[in-house]
Amino acid sequence: MRKTIALLVGFLVMIGLLATTGSARAGGWATVTVSELPAVVVAERPFTIEFSVRQHGQTLLPDLDTAVTAVQETSSTRVNVQAKESSEEGFYTATLTLPQSGEWRWGISSWGMVYPMPPLLVNEAVAGDLGIGGETAVAWQLVLGWLAAAGAALYFLLWTRQRSRVQLAGLALLGVVSLASFALHAQMPVPVLAESETDLLPAIAPDAMGEALFVAKGCIQCHVNDNVTMAENMFQIGPDITFVKRPSEYLEVWLANPASIKVETIMPNLHLSAAEIETLIAFLKQQ
């Protein structure tokens, strides 16, 4: 009997595995490109990641089940956010709030695979930001306001039964406390960003930006580059492009629109900005 159950379980697990790998492979492969890496990330402050998914590196894919997952190993914290489709077909957005400062690894899961992205440095929460003291103070005044109001109502009830001065004094006192609490709450200044805003560190160190773009734009998914340590090549679609010897002028044209040089190329036009192209070229020319 036990043996039969074990066999049955083993069989079901196998079917499950086959089904999942099958769906991951269905239709071949896809690349993921982040539209823009966040410049600065602050703990507890939401930020949005937009990305696109291209089947075979080419066709933008709508209707996908995709998610962004961030992990901080030192604190064993994991944040997982289901991505939503954006108005542009094949583009998705996910808004993340990372609870702690420090380094966070993250990736985009789509198409049954996880696409690792460049690690982000998260700044400590800025005093004055929503959620740090501000929110609890607000709640505290509201709680007092309502408690005092309830007390005042009770005294009013007692007073209607027995018109004594004690009840009236209680009613007046708690009424004032309640009104004062609500007034204080209404007066609470809208949280402002502290002056330390200017001291915030960039999410990605400037000297790592070339490698970060190479990973976030999806180049690493198709190309091997030995200078990349943040992620590994996933599909061997393009050539190894460690230390490219082509002149910068050529690379500028190629990265802006590969098909303008080679009509039939598999390499997509990723709509890179001029600044991104410049940073990527500097990285490609690194020995």
Binding site for ligand HEC (CB under 6 A): 31, 57, 217-219, 221-223, 237-239, 241, 244, 246, 251, 254-255, 262, 265-268, 270, 280, 284
112, containing H or E segment: none
Q: Pull the structure tokens for residue 176.
A: 């004032």
Contact 110, 55 (CB under 8 A): no
Shortest CB 29 distance to ligand HEC, Å: 9
Minimal distance in Å, beta carbon 223 to ligand HEC? 5
Shorter beta-carbon distance to ligand HEC: residue 52 or 101: 52
Specify the residue, 1 or 263, whose C-beta has the smaller distance to ligand HEC.
263
By beta carbon distance, the residue nearest ligand HEC is 57
For the CB of residue 79, give the shortest distance to ligand HEC in the complex, in Å.
27
- In terms of C-beta density within 10 A (0-12 exposed, 13-18 middle, 19 or more buried), how is residue 156 classed? middle
Which CB, 18 or 266, lies closer to ligand HEC? Answer: 266
Instruction: Using the minimum distance from each CB to ligand HEC, give the nearer residue, 108 or 125.
Output: 108
With respect to ligand HEC, which residue has the nearer C-beta, 84 or 271?
271
CB of residue 1 vs ligand HEC: minimum separation in angstroms?
A: 53
Judge whether 201 and 123 are in contact, CB under 8 Å: yes
C-beta separation of 147 from 124 below 8 A: no
Nearest-angstrom CA–CA distance, 212 and 118: 5
How far apart, in whole angstroms, are the C-alpha atoms of residue 44 and residue 192? Answer: 15
Contacts of 11 (CB under 8 A, 6+ apart): none
